[in-house]
Amino acid sequence: MLTKRIIPCLDVDQGRVVKGKNFINLRDAGEPTELAKFYDYEGADELCFLDITASSDSRETVIEMVAAVANQVFIPFAVGGGIRSAVDAQKILAAGADKISINSAAVENPKLIREIAEAIGSQNLVLAIDARKKKNTECRMQNAVVWEVVTHGGRKDSGLDVVEWAKQGAKLGAGEILLTSMDADGTKKGFDIPLTRAVSEAVKIPIIASGGAGSAEDFLEVFQKTSAEAALAASIFHFKETSILAIKKFLAENKIPVRIKL
């Protein structure tokens, strides 16, 4: 049985790890390399670095940071932000990352997914999807909910339906989807279960649930109620509200398969 993965997310802004609520009101959380070393020691399964202003500010991801992290940690890590071509993706992998993540650039040019997948392999390509809930005006009587894809750190609405975009991304060659609920992000009220379930049931590639984790119970819920293969969090790890080991022990006690570092 495949173990469920716990992934700390490090949102990077101008060389520092930051965290806010709903992608705003950011506060400093530390230095990327030092945090990466700490999470590696603590038993994280993977790491995810997201340069959260790279797309909106038209900047490239800092290669030096990737190389520094690769020299310090021994677990896989993904890097996203400002990757706009297969060449950009190859540079990130050459610097030491194991996977790259694309978001805004893929929405603007869906063919980029296939181009990067062909260049580096689907197994190394994560499609990040930021989702915001909206009422479906055509189905108001049924109180139906749909989710729209937002880009550039939540600054732009795309008009794309999240589930349909996930299907398209998988078809084009994405090997994994990092699904973040903008509504839940930073709230610590739990993952968006309906959103995660809808996407994980619509595609066959692994889903990483993101946004809203506040306790070990939240991780248990997302693994029990959806098909997500991994769960990502930031605030509760960065500010030492709980530990990866504590969450994994709780999951194991509740019969969720996890890898516990000895």
Residues classed as catalytic:
11, 130
| Contact by Cβ (8 Å): 79, 102 | no
d(CA 111, CA 160): 16
d(CA 248, CA 262): 12
| Burial class for 3, CB neighbours closer than 10 Å (0-12, 13-18, 19+) | middle
Pairing of the two strands 125-135 and 99-102? parallel
| Burial class for 230, CB neighbours closer than 10 Å (0-12, 13-18, 19+) | buried
d(CA 4, CA 14): 32
Residue 199 neighbours by CB under 8 Å, 6+ apart: 129, 162, 163, 166, 177, 179, 207
| Contact by Cβ (8 Å): 197, 223 | no
